[in-house]
């Protein structure tokens, strides 16, 4: 297996860093003038009781008040440890900043991802932190939401093929997704045309060449497990649909 490229956050001319007390915000220069507002709203979300969107209910929309918006994903743990630590992480290399570096490089390579707009870290101690990852807000719905909402078999097959194409590009450009599932494929529409973008690159890895067959199959297996968990009866995703999503 080829080693992944070791991407760590480094200063980028398209991003600016602001530090206020325990909070560190890295934000795209296009919205740097909104840094104080973004930092304040993200701070409020750390104590929010209302659930967000997504499979961990951790995604929120931020309205910048000028017609533009952001999606902010609060870093949250899954599994049993979530009941103990929830949104607290350990380390000196914050995961949201690593995800920002990976997503910037993925976009540069032509992988269909949401435009990365920044990340915020709130340090609780020198090695404990909470974090948010920011992207440009995109109108759309997850692939799981889409297949439940659209009952036109022709349109559904087209969208599944678009999802397959996005995954193929991802693999050919050297990206292995850390958690490929039906919630992390976002269906967007422009007039009568649909496309699919890949979101949530936390724990994903970039390679300097196309990913191996074994890694492609690992991503496909995880995606199919997601489909069978969400749709055990195959009401929305039959065998033909699963074949489109998982074929080599």
Domain check: are 49 and 130 in the same one? yes
Is 123 domain-assigned?
Answer: yes
Q: Show which of 116, 136, 156 is a domain's final residue.
A: 136
Provide the domain limits for residue 234: 141-246
Q: Show which of 90, 111, 136 is a domain's final residue.
A: 136
The confidence score (pLDDT) of residue 146 equals 96
Residue 168's nearest CA partner among 220, 90, 99, 93 is: 220
Distance CA(169)–CA(229), nearest Å, equals 26
Is 209 domain-assigned?
Answer: yes
Q: Average of pLDDT values for 196-221? A: 94
Domain check: are 196 and 116 in the same one? no
Using the predicted structure, report yes or no on whether residue 223 has a pLDDT greater than 90.
yes
pLDDT digits over 43-60, tens only?
A: 888 776 565 565 556 788
The confidence score (pLDDT) of residue 220 equals 95
The confidence score (pLDDT) of residue 191 equals 77
Q: Show which of 106, 136, 166 is a domain's final residue.
A: 136
Is 52 domain-assigned?
Answer: yes
Domain check: are 131 and 145 in the same one? no
Is 2 domain-assigned?
Answer: no
Is 33 domain-assigned?
Answer: yes
The confidence score (pLDDT) of residue 92 equals 86
- Contact partners, residue 110, CB within 8 Å, separation at least 6: 169, 173
pTM: 0.89
Which pair of tokens denotes residue 174?
């050297």
The confidence score (pLDDT) of residue 1 equals 39
Q: Average of pLDDT values for 195-202? A: 94
pLDDT digits over 14-40, tens only?
A: 999 999 999 999 999 999 999 999 999
Which pair of tokens denotes residue 237?
């995703």
Is 219 domain-assigned?
Answer: yes
For residues 1 and 234, the model is more confident at 234
The confidence score (pLDDT) of residue 183 equals 93
Domain check: are 31 and 132 in the same one? yes
SS3 164: helix
Distance CA(234)–CA(231), nearest Å, equals 5
Domain check: are 169 and 206 in the same one? yes
Is 8 domain-assigned?
Answer: no
Domain check: are 125 and 181 in the same one? no
Domain of 160: which CATH number?
Answer: 1.10.510.10
Hunting for tokens 């967000």 — which residue is that? 52
Domain check: are 118 and 150 in the same one? no
Domain check: are 19 and 129 in the same one? yes
Please report how the helices 239-246 and 153-172 are oriented relative to each other, as an axis angle in degrees rounded to 10.
20
Please enumerate, as own/partner, the contacts of 37-41 that have beta carbons within 8 Å and a separation of 24 or more: 37/64, 37/65, 38/62, 38/64, 38/70, 38/118, 38/120, 38/134, 39/120, 41/72
Domain check: are 198 and 117 in the same one? no
Q: Where are the beta strands (DSSP E) in the chain?
A: 15-20, 23-28, 59-63, 69-74, 89-90, 116-123, 128-136, 141-142, 175-176, 185-190, 193-198, 205-206
Using the predicted structure, report yes or no on whether residue 233 has a pLDDT greater than 90.
yes
**C-alpha distances out from residue 4 to 94, 96, 175, Å:** 18, 18, 9
Domain check: are 189 and 222 in the same one? yes
Count of domains for the chain: 2
Which residues are registered as beta bridge partners of 186?
142, 197
Is 3 domain-assigned?
Answer: no
Task: Give the strand pairing for 141-142 and 193-198.
Answer: unpaired
Domain check: are 75 and 170 in the same one? no
Domain check: are 74 and 111 in the same one? yes
Q: Judge whether 10 and 3 are in contact, CB under 8 Å.
A: no
């Amino acid at each position: 297996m080829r080693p992944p490229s070791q991407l760590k956050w480094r200063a980028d001319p398209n991003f600016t860093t602001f530090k206020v007390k325990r909070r560190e915000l890295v934000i795209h220069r296009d919205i740097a003038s909104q840094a104080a507002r973004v930092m304040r709203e993200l701070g409020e979300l750390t104590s929010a009781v209302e659930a967000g969107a997504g499979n961990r209910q951790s995604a929120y929309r931020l309205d910048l008040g000028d017609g533009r918006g952001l999606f902010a994903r609060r870093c949250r743990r899954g599994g049993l440890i979530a009941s103990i630590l929830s949104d607290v992480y350990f380390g000196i290399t914050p995961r949201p900043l690593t995800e920002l570096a990976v997503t910037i490089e993925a976009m540069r390579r032509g992988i269909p991802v949401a435009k990365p707009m920044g990340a915020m870290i709130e340090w609780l101690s020198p090695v404990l932190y909470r974090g948010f990852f920011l992207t440009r807000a995109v109108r759309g719905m997850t692939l799981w939401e889409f297949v439940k909402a659209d009952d036109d078999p022709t349109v559904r097959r087209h969208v599944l093929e678009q999802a397959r194409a996005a995954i193929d590009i991802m693999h050919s450009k050297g990206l292995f997704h850390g958690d490929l599932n039906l919630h992390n494929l976002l269906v967007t529409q422009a007039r009568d045309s649909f496309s699919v973008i890949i979101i949530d690159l936390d724990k994903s890895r970039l390679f300097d060449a196309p990913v191996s067959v074994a890694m492609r199959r690992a991503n496909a297996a995880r995606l199919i497990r997601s489909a069978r968990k969400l749709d055990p009866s195959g009401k929305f995703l039959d065998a033909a649909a699963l074949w489109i999503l998982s074929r080599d």
